[in-house]
Amino acid sequence: MKRRDVLAAGAGLAMLALVRPASATSEEMAAAIDRFTGGVKPTEGRMTFDIAQLIDNGNAVPVTIAVDSAMSAADHVSAIAIFNERNPQTDVAVFTLGPRAGKAQVSTRIRLATSQKLTAVARMGDGSYRSASVSVIVALAACVEGEAP
């Protein structure tokens, strides 16, 4: 192998390290939640975060979040956001709702890079925020580049 080939391979590996996203941290998740709430601390409770505690495969994990709300003009949920602490990006999804949504509940599937804590935050019509958190264990991680097929 020539010196030039070794240098080219090293440069390629260095670029791969720059392109591959690192996992987020709990501080980054807290900062993302602060951006969503405008710095207002959410009150825990009156929310249900439905997700399996032990996840076999993190590629498509079903999640349902429900908020205890009458969904009337006076008492409704205007948005629900999901955050995680160990995926490459902390913001998973933001759902916009209104009083005519009928039910303050959203369902989706998300990818999970590894075992981690997830937090859901609901913005209420009066400007207050509610939250619920859950920790999950992921046996087979998703969001990882360079996995063997």
Q: Residue 87 is part of a domain; what is its CATH number?
A: 2.60.40.2470
Q: Would you state the pLDDT for residue 50?
A: 96
**H helix intervals, the chain:** 3-19, 26-37
Residue 112 is assigned to a structural domain of this protein: yes
Domain encompassing residue 87: 24-140
Distance CA 128, CA 41 (A): 9
Q: Is residue 72 part of a domain?
A: yes
Tell whether 8 is covered by a domain: no
Is residue 13 included in any domain, yes or no?
Answer: no
- Quote the number of domains for the chain: 1
pLDDT at residue number 24: 76
| Residue 14 covered by a domain | no
The torsion angles phi and psi of 72, rounded to 5 degrees, stand at -105, 175
Q: Report the pLDDT value the prediction gives residue 146, as an integer from 0 to 100.
A: 47
Where do the H-state alpha helices sit in 46-115?
none
* Residue 99: predicted pLDDT: 87
What is the mean pLDDT of each successive set of 10 residues along the chain, which is 149 residues long? 62 48 80 96 95 94 95 92 93 92 93 94 95 94 56
d(CA 17, CA 8): 14
Query: Looking at the domain assignment, is residue 147 inside a domain?
Result: no
Q: What per-residue confidence (pLDDT) applies to 12?
A: 55
CA distance 132 to 67: 10
Give me the pLDDT at residue 19, please. 44
Cβ pair 130, 124 in contact under 8 A: yes
- Residue 74 in domain: yes
Distance CA 115, CA 95 (A): 24
